[in-house]
Amino acid sequence: MKSGVKVTADNADSIIDAITRLSGMDVLVGIPEGNAAREGGKLNNAEIGYLQSTGATVEIDGEVVTLPPRPFLDIGIEDTQTRTTAHLKAAAELALEGNAAGAERELERAGIIASDGAKKVISDGDRLAPLSENTLEKRRANGLPGEKPLYAHGYLLRSITYVVRK
């Protein structure tokens, strides 16, 4: 007895390939090694980003200071979660259709949105722990603009990106 189902195209191999490729990929948002270099400092952008995100007690110019946590990455990723989730879902759907290139493109889009969200947290500056009066005085003495945390020169902000890795 026949089931009545007629196979017109068999794309099982492309579906399996796409799902395998997608399941072996990660979207990482932060400051990768290639963007970490920083002019004239002892620490690179990745190290500074970590210390600022988690908070730390560090020595700066011979003075021990405690940095409050300023989790710009966490906030930015959370802010964009609805939009990034839509792209991750689209990536899974494209993988199920056997479209590996389309799935990877959706992962890239999710990375762009999430990294832009983290940058926005820094550029807005209004949801991060404020700068100490001591830091503000040093900024003014050095002719640096503004009172936004994590934004004196823009080095940290410009170093934030994403990678889709296998």
57 assigned to some structural domain: yes
Which residues, other chains included, contact 70 with Cβ-Cβ below 8 Å and sequence gap of 6+? 52, 53, 55, 128, 129, 149, 150
One digit per residue, the tens of pLDDT, for the chain of length 166 reads: 556 666 566 666 766 665 666 667 889 999 988 878 887 778 899 999 999 999 999 988 888 999 999 999 999 999 999 999 999 999 988 888 888 899 999 999 999 999 999 999 999 999 999 999 989 998 999 998 889 999 988 999 999 999 998 8
Taking the CA atoms of the chain, what radius of gyration do you get in angstroms?
22
d(CA 106, CA 84): 9
pTM above 0.75, yes or no: yes
DSSP code per residue over 40-92: T-SS-HHHHHHHHHH-EEEEETTEEEEEPP--HHHHHHHHTHHHHHHHHHHHH
2 assigned to some structural domain: no
Which residues, other chains included, contact 78 with Cβ-Cβ below 8 Å and sequence gap of 6+? none
139 assigned to some structural domain: yes
pLDDT at 99: 87
d(CA 164, CA 166): 7
Provide the domain limits for residue 54.
12-165
135 assigned to some structural domain: yes
4 assigned to some structural domain: no
